[in-house]
Amino acid sequence: MASPEIDALTQALSRLPGLGPRSARRAVLHLLKKRESAMEPLLRALEAVNDRLVTCAVCGNVDTVDPCGICVDPRRDARALCVVEDVADLWALDKSRLFPGRFHVLGGRLSALEGIRPEDLGIDSLIARVEQGGIDEVVLAMNATLEGQTTAHYLAERLERFPVRLTQLAHGVPVGGELDYLDEGTLAQALRARRPVG
């Protein structure tokens, strides 16, 4: 039987995404066995991040500096802005290194069922960024869900008065995807977004 402190650590870890009670217990056992090489560096890293964690006032990214590293990177194309629902989406797109511009995190998506309205998101700050000028393209990188597409449509309406090119991520058949494994919504979107060959 574990002490209350070890049990509390296991419970705390089990609340993390991707870790259930068994995985958390294995992680705790590993940390206990490798106290000097695993637990202590983890504690120092958590404390350092916890002490310095901020939300970027420009884009809404989470970093240890404000403005964040992406916003101050001179190699980024300031004329291209990619709008995402949350920080996880920003990190996924940035990790791909395929988008050379900057980002804007909304902090969620519109949802009537959850009571999330435009004023609950970072839409006004997005409009303010575009209004300042210097942006040629806004990429609406919303998730391919009903709420994500509703949010993209709302943003397109709000941004149509600005002289920017509005684009959005393509949706449809994924690379390596087999048609018989795809759901009807994905197939419908792929058919609607079809383009000429060659």
Residues 61, 129 within the same domain = yes
- Distance of alpha carbon 74 from alpha carbon 15, whole angstroms: 38
Residues 25, 118 within the same domain = no
Whole-number pLDDT of residue 60: 96
Q: Could you give the number of structural domains in the chain?
A: 2
Q: Is residue 148 part of a domain?
A: yes
Whole-number pLDDT of residue 156: 95
One-letter identity of residue 47: E
pLDDT band at residue 88 using 50, 70 and 90 as cut-offs: very high
User: What pairs with residue 175 in β-bridges?
Assistant: none
- Looking up residue 48, the CATH number of its domain turns out to be 1.10.8.420
**Mean pLDDT, rounded, of the chain:** 90
pLDDT tens-digit map of 105-132: 999 999 999 999 999 999 999 999 999 9
Do residues 129 and 81 touch, judged by C-beta distance below 8 A? yes
Please count the other Cβ atoms lying within 10 Å of the Cβ belonging to residue 73. Answer: 11
- Distance of alpha carbon 60 from alpha carbon 189, whole angstroms: 30
- The answer to whether residue 72 scores a pLDDT higher than 90 is yes
Q: Is residue 14 part of a domain?
A: yes
Domain extent, residue 103, equals 55-168
Residues 67, 157 within the same domain = yes
Do residues 55 and 77 touch, judged by C-beta distance below 8 A? no
For residue 83, the SS3 value is strand
